Structure 1
Amino acid sequence: MPKTKTLLRLSLTLLIVSVLGYAGWHFTRPQPPEVELATIARGTVEATVVNTRAGTIKACRRAKLAPAAGGQIVKLWAKEGERVVAGQPLLELWNRDLTAQRELTSRQLSTSEARLREACILADNAKRDADRTQQLSARGFVSPQNSENARAEARSRQASCDALAADVKRAQAQIRVTAAGLERTTLHAPFAGIVAKVTGEVGEYTTPSPPGIPTPPAVDLIDDSCLYVSAPMDEVDAPRLQPGQLARITLDALPGQSFSGHVRRIAPYVTEVEKQARTVDVEVDFDTPPKQILLVGYSADVEAIIERRDKVLRVPTQAIQQDGSVLVLGAGDKLETRRLKTGLANWAFTEVLDGLAAGDRVLLSFDDEAVKAGVKVRAKAASDNPTAP
């Protein structure tokens, strides 16, 4: 009996040690590495071209205005941030001399017109006298000499009338010249827009820019009703771009939002900037202007869509290794190598023509060198995201 109890105690002790040993092995054994997986699904793949440097929001019309003539500012109607309509005066230069000249020429015109009326009345009267004298001469009541003198007087009076008519035209032209001079002293808005900047104050002098010597404009006027994006594209991508292509616009000022657009213009030359890649400026219009107020000068990025394919099998581009293969989660949660035949691709997704099926799960990250084909892995809790939008 004591022997039996001893054997039971020994068996129980061995069992407890075995259980503890298994539990220790189970909880201390190496776990399969956690990896990030993506589920293959159908979606859209696009071939795109993006700008090499930040683009800029620009206005379709922007005028840096200055008076045609230099002078002292006496009236400044424009204020920064104010909206103006086409033809609205913005500033006026000192022009009292031209105003006086216009008044003088107006009075000269009035005098010339009065003298013209007088001379033409006398000319008409002289012509009627000449006609009567000629009739009387034909009947013998007046000598031929008197008739000739009357005709000469009529021609002289008519010449005076014509000369004064020319003088009236000269006075009218002088008024137009003076008016043009006055117009050069007032700066008007060529189109409706918002005043971005005003350079100068009442009493200061302003001058137009001499050829080849840029000077600050008196008024910077922006038509913000029409905006577009100008972005530099690498010269290598220029042959793939065409006016009318679809594009996406993103703005740093409006993160998380994307706006559709179309390529409106491609510059016919390459821009060469020292120590930078050669680029081609591409202009893109918004299809629908954003509801938010956009400021001219905002930085923007453009993604021109060269080609688009919908409802195709696609794989995240980052899952493809340099040799064109992917690691797929296979039987027993072990990774398997698959060779792919691919089609259209961009930085986000690549079209799969052969090698994968919908529902396959592929490895996304290759940071851990121990993760390779044949290794058993386990998916991260929140990493198994489908590739479809």
Structure 2
Amino acid sequence: MDLAGGALLGVLLLAFGVARWRGPVVPAYEVVSRPLVQNVVATGRVAALSRVAVGAEISGLVLERRVMEGDTVAPGDVLVLLRAADLEARRDQARAALEALRQADRPDAQARLRQAEAELAQAEREATRRRGLGQQQLVSREMVEQAQQAVVAARAAAEQARVNAASLSGGAREAQLVEQLRAAEAELERAVIRATVAGTVLLRQVEPGDVVTPGQVLLELAREAPGELLLPLDEKNLSRLQVGQGAVCEADAWPGRSFNATVHHIAPSVDPARWMCACASTRRWISCART
């Protein structure tokens, strides 16, 4: 055996001996200092932050209901239509009265004013003529006085006609009829029940053919807002929670899917019912807002 072969054999024997001395190779882990993570698990329920009750402002028969549970609505969307024949008749009456004022009463008043002014002018001319004849002693004093009284009566009639024409020409009468028409239209608009906020229909308590009264709740909406989860927790876990902490939520309806949430409120009160069931174990509610 040459020198190189002897050296290689010696190295192999040395490596084998070191391996035997060190023992078998086992898996190892590197120890690193990190914060201790504690998870708090609880089961709760989903709650709407704000609910809006939609009611009727007038009495009427339901003609149409345009939404169902689960429908999403926007402000101004029509929810329910009511039949209000009496309000329609009141609106039509106010509209007809206003049209009659503008198309018939006002022209008639203006014609009467022109006639009264012409009669006044005629009476003044006649009084002037008789006054002249009276000075010449061609007519009696009584006829002169009658002509003057006719002027007074004609002037009063002309003034009354002028007042009537003014009241019908953009005056108090027309303004009154306009306000009556606006009030009737506003009352009739209440027969169309619209959504005042954006949200989702949670409950419906009305069907076509129902007779509703003012104040009766017809629908209930959940205002469009971030969802809220209410979770009952033991008092021993409250020290591990604080507002602003993140949370991960899962729903039975979507297994395997999760969404993030944030703790935004910890109730200071105790739920008496859960305290009794827990046999002196204090429970509190926390609410998590979905992010």
1:42 aligns with 2:33: yes
Alignment of 1:72-91 (within 5 A): 72-91=61-80
In the alignment, what sits opposite 2:141?
none
Matched position secondary structure for 1:170: helix
Residues 123 and 154 in structure 2, CA contact (< 8 A), matched pair in contact too: yes
1:187 aligns with 2:178: no
In the alignment, what sits opposite 1:327?
none
Amino acid at match of 1:74: L
Render the CA deviation track for 1:234-271: whole Å, top value 9, x for unaligned: 79759x855xx2432413335563514362x677x746
Instruction: Quote the offset at 1:227 in angstroms.
Output: 2.2
1:119 aligns with 2:119: no
Amino acid at match of 1:157: A
Matched position secondary structure for 1:41: coil
Render the CA deviation track for 1:82-113: whole Å, top value 9, x for unaligned: 44433121221221222222212211221233
Render the CA deviation track for 1:169-212: whole Å, top value 9, x for unaligned: 332222233223322222112234443443332222334556xx
Render the CA deviation track for 1:293-348: whole Å, top value 9, x for unaligned: xxxxxxxxxxxxxxxxxxxxxxxxxxxxxxxxxxxxxxxxxxxxxxxxxxxxxxxx
Amino acid at match of 1:116: R
Residues 51 and 232 in structure 1, CA contact (< 8 A), matched pair in contact too: no
Amino acid at match of 2:165: C
Q: Percent sequence identity over matched residues? A: 18
Instruction: Quote the offset at 1:160 in angstroms.
Output: 1.7
What are the ranges of 5 or more consecutive residues in structure 1 without an aligned counterpart?
1-37, 211-216, 287-389
Q: 1:284 to 1:146 in 2, by over 3 A?
A: same
Whole-angstrom distance in 2 between the partners of 1:106 and 1:182: 13
Q: 1:241 to 1:146 in 2, by over 3 A?
A: farther
RMSD across aligned positions (CA): 4.6
Alignment of 1:235-314 (within 5 A): 245-253=244-252, 254=254, 255=256, 257-261=258-262, 263=264, 270=269, 273-274=272-273, 276=275, 277=282, 279=284, 282=287, 284-286=289-291
Q: 1:278 to 1:81 in 2, by over 3 A?
A: closer
Higher normalized strand content (fraction of residues): 1
Bigger shift: residues 60-69 or 229-238: 229-238
In the alignment, what sits opposite 1:170?
176
Amino acid at match of 1:156: Q
In the alignment, what sits opposite 2:99?
110
Whole-angstrom distance in 1 between the partners of 2:50 and 2:191: 23
Q: 1:98 to 1:209 in 2, by over 3 A?
A: closer
1:92 aligns with 2:86: no
Q: Which has the larger radius of gyration?
A: 2
Instruction: Quote the offset at 1:120 in angstroms.
Output: 4.9
Q: 1:279 to 1:158 in 2, by over 3 A?
A: farther
Residues 46 and 230 in structure 2, CA contact (< 8 A), matched pair in contact too: yes
Q: TM-score, normalised by structure 2?
A: 0.58
Q: 1:127 to 1:235 in 2, by over 3 A?
A: farther
In the alignment, what sits opposite 1:155?
159
Alignment of 1:337-352 (within 5 A): none
Whole-angstrom distance in 1 between the partners of 2:177 and 2:45: 56
Instruction: Quote the offset at 1:122 in angstroms.
Output: 4.7
Higher normalized helix content (fraction of residues): 2
Amino acid at match of 2:159: R
Whole-angstrom distance in 1 between the partners of 2:289 and 2:71: 27
Q: TM-score, normalised by structure 1?
A: 0.46
In the alignment, what sits opposite 2:26?
none
Amino acid at match of 2:218: A
